[in-house]
Structure 1
Amino acid sequence: MAALCLLALAQEVFHPQVELTRKEKRVVAWVSGEEGSLFYADYGDLLVGELQALSPERVQVENRAFFRDAGSAVEEGLKVGERVEVAYNPDWVQEGLPYLMRLRRAGEGKGERYLRLVLFDPKGVEVRLGGEVEARGPLAVVERGGVEELFLSGGEARYLEEEGRLELRPAPGKVAVAQGQVRVEGQRLRYQNDTGEALLEGPLEVRREGEKPLSGKAGSLRYLLDEDRLWLLGGVELTQGGRTTKAERALLREKEGYAFLYGKVESRDERGVVRGERVRYALKSGEVVVLGGVAGEFRGD
Structure 2
Amino acid sequence: MRPLLLGIGLGLLLALAQEVFRPEVELLRKDKRVVAWVSGEEESLFYADYGDLHVGELRELTPAKAVVGERAFFLDAGTVLEEGLKPGDRVEAAYNPDWEREGLPYLMRLRKAGEEKGERYLRLVLFDPKGVEVRLGEEVEARGPLALVERGGREELFLSGGEARYLEEEGRLEVQPLPGRVVLTQGATRVEGVRLRYQNDTGEAFLEGPLALSREGEKPLKGKAQALRYLLDEDALWLLGDVEFVQGGRTTRAERALLREKEGYAYLFGGVESRDEKGFVRGERVRYALESGAVVVLGRVAGEFRE
The residue identity in structure 2 corresponding to 1:5 is L
Aligned-partner Cα distance in 2 for 1:220–1:282:
21
8 Å Cα contact 2:212-2:222 kept in structure 1: yes
Q: Which runs of 5+ in 1 are unaligned?
A: none
The residue identity in structure 1 corresponding to 2:96 is N
Q: List, as ranges, runs of 4+ consecutive aligned residues in structure 1 with deviation greater than 6 Å.
A: none
SS of alignment partner, residue 262 of structure 2: helix
Cα deviation, residue 86, structure 1: 0.2
Aligned-partner Cα distance in 1 for 2:119–2:296:
52
The sequence identity of aligned pairs, in percent, is 77
Matched, 1:42 2:49: yes
Matched, 1:181 2:188: yes
**How many pairs are equivalent?**
300
SS of alignment partner, residue 76 of structure 1: coil
Among candidates 277, 280, 299, match of residue 273 of structure 1: 280
8 Å Cα contact 1:2-1:89 kept in structure 2: no
Aligned to 1:4: 4
Among candidates 101, 105, 112, match of residue 94 of structure 1: 101
Aligned to 2:118: 111
Matched, 1:256 2:263: yes
Cα deviation, residue 263, structure 1: 0.9
8 Å Cα contact 1:137-1:154 kept in structure 2: yes
Cα deviation, residue 292, structure 1: 1.2
Cα deviation, residue 111, structure 1: 2.9
Among candidates 284, 296, 305, match of residue 298 of structure 1: 305
Aligned to 2:205: 198
Matched, 1:283 2:283: no
The residue identity in structure 2 corresponding to 1:265 is V
Aligned to 2:214: 207
SS of alignment partner, residue 173 of structure 2: strand
Cα deviation, residue 128, structure 1: 0.3
Among candidates 140, 145, 150, match of residue 143 of structure 1: 150
Among candidates 51, 60, 64, match of residue 53 of structure 1: 60
Cα deviation, residue 4, structure 1: 2.8
Aligned-partner Cα distance in 2 for 1:105–1:232:
28
Residues 260-292 of structure 1: per-residue CA shift (max 9 Å, x gap)? 111111000000000011111011111111111
SS of alignment partner, residue 10 of structure 1: helix
The alignment yields a C-alpha RMSD, in angstroms, of 0.9
Aligned to 2:81: 74
Residues 25-53 of structure 1: per-residue CA shift (max 9 Å, x gap)? 00000000011000000111000000011
Q: Which runs of 5+ in 2 are unaligned?
A: 15-19
The residue identity in structure 2 corresponding to 1:104 is R
Cα deviation, residue 112, structure 1: 4.5
8 Å Cα contact 2:160-2:178 kept in structure 1: yes
Residues 223-262 of structure 1: per-residue CA shift (max 9 Å, x gap)? 0000010000111000000000001110101111111111
8 Å Cα contact 2:3-2:172 kept in structure 1: no
Cα deviation, residue 6, structure 1: 3.2
- TM-score relative to the length of structure 1: 0.98
SS of alignment partner, residue 147 of structure 1: coil
SS of alignment partner, residue 255 of structure 1: coil
8 Å Cα contact 2:24-2:37 kept in structure 1: yes
8 Å Cα contact 2:186-2:261 kept in structure 1: yes
Aligned-partner Cα distance in 1 for 2:119–2:39:
31
Aligned-partner Cα distance in 2 for 1:78–1:6:
32
Aligned-partner Cα distance in 1 for 2:37–2:3:
22
SS of alignment partner, residue 7 of structure 1: coil
The residue identity in structure 1 corresponding to 2:227 is S
The residue identity in structure 2 corresponding to 1:264 is G
Aligned-partner Cα distance in 1 for 2:154–2:99:
24
Cα deviation, residue 2, structure 1: 5.3
Aligned to 1:124: 131
Cα deviation, residue 14, structure 1: 1.2
